């Protein structure tokens, strides 16, 4: 994996870059749609190509439980399994074992937990997380970390930082001693923890920085803390994270969060918001967010996004999508999810264009409170 910076914004830390993996070129800042089970819900891969998606995120935790990483590996890996030719980043399972599973025990060795699907006893260690992600063939492998909730005591957060530090060594060691079964590069991102505590964040960065060869992630934010506290940490991290590597802010967020984080030097994002919202009737548009189920759209023949140029999405009127939701048609979720991902991709494109043209500040001010 390579990363190069293409242009800077003079009045903020926003920058345009290019990540090159063995599967695709990815212009940054980038938003990665989430394909938890090896599928972006309701979307065919070729539709994602049509709307300029070059990387997706999938989940170690889910694929480990169903269908199992060995099954996917015997078929040629996750790219082939899900018919996706471009890049894949996999989350390590660290976040999901805390947020989804019934947790039994965190030890130095790893995490014992009960599957949220069938209650079965399961175990993931740093080594197992690496084995799973290596078997899946992920272009970007995330370190196995401890991610406490936002409201935890400082002592708990500190312990998470220390455990994450012990585990990065084992992640790195596993990958050095076990070569990839694929003929492409698989690169490890450490995940910085430390909650909203500047001293713990600094400690975590210092512990992890020597393991960061291609990119670094900020975990443990957007997990319940105040928005301003989150941005204070991101701003502080901007000063201490390597500038020559992409910075990935995990689990964020709304378009307004993206604009603000980009001004603070973030390059990569993922969030369920555009996909999950698409299934519940919430549409992101350049004029704000709207609930397409609202009866006021029943006679509205206009499209959701008449600025879009690269897709036939603007041939679907608001009243048609409203009708599809009223009649419980799956196509409602399909069209709206596609619309929302397309909107996010066009939003990121607009940000990159504005950084390039030196007009990012005006764009930032226009959209910081809108979406």
Rounded CA gap, 58 and 91, in Å? 6
| DSSP percent split of the chain into helix, strand, coil, nearest 5 | 45, 20, 40
Residue 181 interacts with a second copy (CB under 8 A): yes or no: no
Applying CB under 8 A, the span of 61-69, 205-213, 261-269, 360-368 interacting with a second copy comes to 61-69
Applying CB under 8 A, the span of 127-135, 173-181, 254-262, 310-318 interacting with a second copy comes to 310-318
Rounded CA gap, 259 and 262, in Å? 5
Beta strands in 101-245 (DSSP E): 102-106, 111-114, 121-124, 140-142, 187-189, 191-192, 216-218
Residue 120 interacts with a second copy (CB under 8 A): yes or no: no
Q: Looking at beta carbons only, is 112 or 323 nearer to a second copy?
A: 323
Residue 46 interacts with a second copy (CB under 8 A): yes or no: yes
Residue 119 interacts with a second copy (CB under 8 A): yes or no: no
Q: Looking at beta carbons only, is 39 or 222 nearer to a second copy?
A: 39
Q: How far apart are the first and last CA of the chain?
A: 32
Rounded CA gap, 149 and 223, in Å? 6
Q: Which of 6, 20, 44, 210 binds a second copy (CB under 8 A)?
A: 44
Q: Looking at beta carbons only, is 297 or 343 nearer to a second copy?
A: 297
Residue 327 interacts with a second copy (CB under 8 A): yes or no: yes
Residue 306 interacts with a second copy (CB under 8 A): yes or no: no
Q: Which of 6, 22, 71, 107 binds a second copy (CB under 8 A)?
A: 71
Rounded CA gap, 104 and 348, in Å? 40
Rounded CA gap, 337 and 359, in Å? 29
Q: Among residues 251, 357, 354, 356, which one has the least CA distance to residue 366?
A: 354
Torsion of CA 218, 174, 66, 278, to 10 degrees: 20
Applying CB under 8 A, the span of 44-52, 204-212, 244-252, 344-352 interacting with a second copy comes to 44-52
Residue 320 interacts with a second copy (CB under 8 A): yes or no: yes
Q: Looking at beta carbons only, is 38 or 255 nearer to a second copy?
A: 38
Residue 67 CA: distances (Å) to CA of 117, 157, 304, 369: 12, 33, 37, 41
Residue 66 interacts with a second copy (CB under 8 A): yes or no: yes
Residue 323 interacts with a second copy (CB under 8 A): yes or no: yes
Rounded CA gap, 66 and 364, in Å? 41
Q: Which of 103, 272, 330, 362 binds a second copy (CB under 8 A)?
A: 330
CB of 280 to a second copy, least distance (A): 14
Q: Looking at beta carbons only, is 43 or 262 nearer to a second copy?
A: 43
Residues at the contact surface with a second copy, assessed by CB under 8 A:
37-39, 41-44, 46-47, 62, 66-67, 71, 74-76, 81-83, 298-299, 301, 312, 315-317, 319-320, 322-324, 326-327, 329-331, 333-335
């Amino acid at each position: 994996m390579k990363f190069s910076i293409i242009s800077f914004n003079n009045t903020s830390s926003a920058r345009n870059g290019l990540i090159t993996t063995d599967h695709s070129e990815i212009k940054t800042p980038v938003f990665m749609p989430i394909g938890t089970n090896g599928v972006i819900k309701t979307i065919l891969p070729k539709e994602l190509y049509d709307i300029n998606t070059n990387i997706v995120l999938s989940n170690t935790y889910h694929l480990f439980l169903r269908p199992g990483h060995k099954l996917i590996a015997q078929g040629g890996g996750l790219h082939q399994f899900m018919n996706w030719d471009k890049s894949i980043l996999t989350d390590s399972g660290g976040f999901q074992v805390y947020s989804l599973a019934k947790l039994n025990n965190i030890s130095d060795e790893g995490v014992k937990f009960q599957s949220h699907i069938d209650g079965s006893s399961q175990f993931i260690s740093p080594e197992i997380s690496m084995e799973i992600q290596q078997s899946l063939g992920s272009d970007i492998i995330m370190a196995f970390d401890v991610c406490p909730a936002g409201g935890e005591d400082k002592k708990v957060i500190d312990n998470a930082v220390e455990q994450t530090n012990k585990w990065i060594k084992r992640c790195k060691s596993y990958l050095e001693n076990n070569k990839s079964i694929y003929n492409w590069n698989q690169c490890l991102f450490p995940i910085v923890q430390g909650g909203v505590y500047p001293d713990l964040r600094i400690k975590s960065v210092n512990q992890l920085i020597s393991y960061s060869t291609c990119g670094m992630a900020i975990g443990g934010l957007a997990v319940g803390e105040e928005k301003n506290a989150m941005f204070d940490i991101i701003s502080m991290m901007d000063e201490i994270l390597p500038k020559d590597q992409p910075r990935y802010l995990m689990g964020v967020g709304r378009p307004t969060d993206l604009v603000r984080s980009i001004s603070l030097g973030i390059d990569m994002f993922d969030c369920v918001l555009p996909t999950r919202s698409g299934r519940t009737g919430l549409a992101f548009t350049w004029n704000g967010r709207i609930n397409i189920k609202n009866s006021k759209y029943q006679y509205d023949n206009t499209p959701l996004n008449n600025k879009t140029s690269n897709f036939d999405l603007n041939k679907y009127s608001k009243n048609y999508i409203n009708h599809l939701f009223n009649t419980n048609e799956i196509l409602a979720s399909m069209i709206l999810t596609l619309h929302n991902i397309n909107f996010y991709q066009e939003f990121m494109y607009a940000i990159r264009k504005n950084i390039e043209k030196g007009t990012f500040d005006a764009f930032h001010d226009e959209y910081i409170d809108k979406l």
